[in-house]
Amino acid sequence: MGTEIRIDAVPNDGTGARSYTFRETETVVVGRAADCAIRAPGTERRVSRHHCAFDLAPPTVRVRDLGSRNGTYVNGVLLPGPGGDGGDGPATELVDGDEVRAGQLRLRVSTAPSGLDGGRIPGYTLLRELGQGAQGTVHLARRSGAEEDLALKILRPEWATPEAVSGFLREIEATRALRHPHVVRFRDAGSSAELLYLVCEFCDGGDLGGLVMSRSAPLPPDVAVPLTLQVLDGLAYAHDAPLPAVRDADGTLTPVRGLVHRDIKPANLLLSGTGRDMVVKIADFGLAKAFDRAGLSGHTHTDALGGSAAFMPRSQAVDYRYARPAVDVWAAAACLYWMLTRATPRHFPRDVDPVLAVLREPVVPIAKHDATLPPRLAALLDDILGDDAPDDERTPTAREFARALEETG
C-alpha cells in the first residue's frame, strides 16, 4: 500500500480552499507565479512569486523557504531563510498535521496510506476525512443506526511505532477518564484488524487556530478572553480530575489525581457553535500525563521532548518528563497572547532551532505588538509569561488565572 500526501491550501479569508494530493517523489513550489504547482490567489499579496517549496518523497515531506519577502512559518515558527550564498533555505521535515504559513496562506499537510477501507471499523460509517495529526487520521463518522456526527481517529499499523501506540493508548485513557463541558467527550475506542481507533464527539467549528487565521485582524479582548476562560475551566478540572488507579511494582493499586496536558496550543482547542455561543473543547491528550506520578509511569523517556515550541514554556523544554500544571497555564496565556496579537510570545529567529529559541529568547512584552490593549490585561499576561519558567509556586493555577482575567474587566 502506498502513501499519499495531501496539502490543503486555505486563503486568509477562508474561501476558495483547495486540496492537492501527491503520491510520487517531486518538488512542489508555492507562490503567486503562474508556474507554481500550488498557486496563491491574487488577494494573497504577502505571498511571494516563488515563496516556498515542498520536497515530497512519500511518506517524507520537507519544506524550505525560497527567499520569500515575508517568511515561511511552520506551526507559527519562522523557518530559516537562504544563506549568504543566495540559495534556498534549509529544509525542515514535517509530520502529519503540521501547518505551513506563506504570508497569510495556510498550507495544512497530511500523509496517509492510500486506499483506507472505512468498512474495517465495524459499526461505523466514515463520511469524510477531517484531518491528520502525528498519531493518526481523523474522520467524520456515524455510528450505525444513529444520527450523531462523531470524530473517529485511527492509528494504522504503518504509523504504529512503540511511541505512537503508547501515545494513542494514553490519549484513549485520558479522554475516557475526563468528563467536562470544555474537554472533548469520549464516545468509544477499540481495535479492528490492525487498526486502533478512538471515537469522540465532533466539534463543528474547527479549531482556535483556524478561527484566528480566518480573520483579517487579531481577536479583540472581549472575544479572546471569554474563550480563554473556557480553556482555563477545562484545565482546572483536568488538573484535579480523579484518574484510574495505577498498580505499583508490588501490586498495590494507588489512586491517581490530576492530569497535565503538555501540548496546549490553538490547534488542540476545538470549537463548537458560533458567535457568543461558541464553546471551546480541549482535545488531543496524546502527550498528557498524570502529574502526581510524573516520571514514574514509564510513558516518557528521559530525553523525550513533546509539545509545540511556539507555545512551550522554557521549563517544559528543560524538564519535560516532570512537567506540571504550571506549563498548561503558561501555554494558555501564550494562546491568549497569540489571539490578541497573532504573534507568539517569543521571537523565533530564522537561523535558530526552535527549541534553542525556547531556551534563549525572552518573551516580548505584549504592548510591543499592540499598545492599545487594556493595561491590566497586558500586565497580567506579561507577569505570567515574563519569567518564562513557570512553576507551581510562582505561576497561578488555572482557576487563579481565570479569576485574575475576570478582574481585568
* Mean pLDDT score of the chain: 83
Which three-class secondary structure string do you get for the chain? CCEEEEEEEECCCCCCCEEEEECCCEEEEEECCCCCCEECCCCCCCCCCCCEEEEEECCEEEEEECCCCCCEEECCEECCCCCCCCCCCCCEEECCCCEEEECCEEEEEEEEECCCCHHHCCCEEEEEEEEEECCEEEEEEEECCCCCEEEEEEECHHHCCHHHHHHHHHHHHHHHHCCCCCECCEEEEEEECCEEEEEEECCCCCEHHHHHHCCCCCCCHHHHHHHHHHHHHHHHHHCCCEEEEEECCCCCEEEEECEECCCCCHHHEEEECCHHHCEEEECCCCCCEEHHHCCCCCCCCCCCCCCCHHHCCHHHHHCHHHCCHHHHHHHHHHHHHHHHHCCCCECCCCCCCHHHHHHHCCECCHHHCCCCCCHHHHHHHHHHHHCCCCCCCCCCCHHHHHHHHHHCC
**For position 246, what pLDDT does the model report?**
61
Can you read off the three cell numbers belonging to residue 303? 530525553
- Which domains are assigned to the chain? 3-113 (2.60.200.20), 118-201 (3.30.200.20), 208-407 (1.10.510.10)
- Mean pLDDT over 124-129 rounds to 84
Q: Is the pLDDT of residue 182 over 80?
A: yes
pLDDT tens by residue, 20-75: 988 888 999 999 999 999 999 888 889 999 999 999 988 789 999 999 999 999 98
Top pLDDT among 386 and 225 is at 225
pLDDT tens by residue, 81-95: 876 545 567 889 898
Top pLDDT among 210 and 161 is at 210
**For position 375, what pLDDT does the model report?**
96
Top pLDDT among 285 and 100 is at 100
Share of the chain above pLDDT 90, in %: 43
pLDDT tens by residue, 322-374: 678 999 999 999 999 999 999 999 988 877 788 888 888 899 999 999 999 99
- CA–CA separation, 371 vs 366, rounded Å? 8
Q: Identify the top-confidence range among 124-138, 240-254, 320-334, 393-407.
A: 393-407
Q: Is the pLDDT of residue 16 over 80?
A: no
- CA–CA separation, 384 vs 333, rounded Å? 7
Q: Is the pLDDT of residue 300 over 90?
A: no
- pLDDT band of residue 242 (cuts 50, 70, 90) is confident
pLDDT tens by residue, 133-166: 656 788 899 988 888 999 999 887 766 777 778 7
Q: Is the pLDDT of residue 3 over 80?
A: no
**For position 117, what pLDDT does the model report?**
47
- CA–CA separation, 342 vs 366, rounded Å? 11
Give this prediction's pTM. Answer: 0.70
- pLDDT band of residue 223 (cuts 50, 70, 90) is very high
- CA–CA separation, 393 vs 239, rounded Å? 15
**For position 70, what pLDDT does the model report?**
92
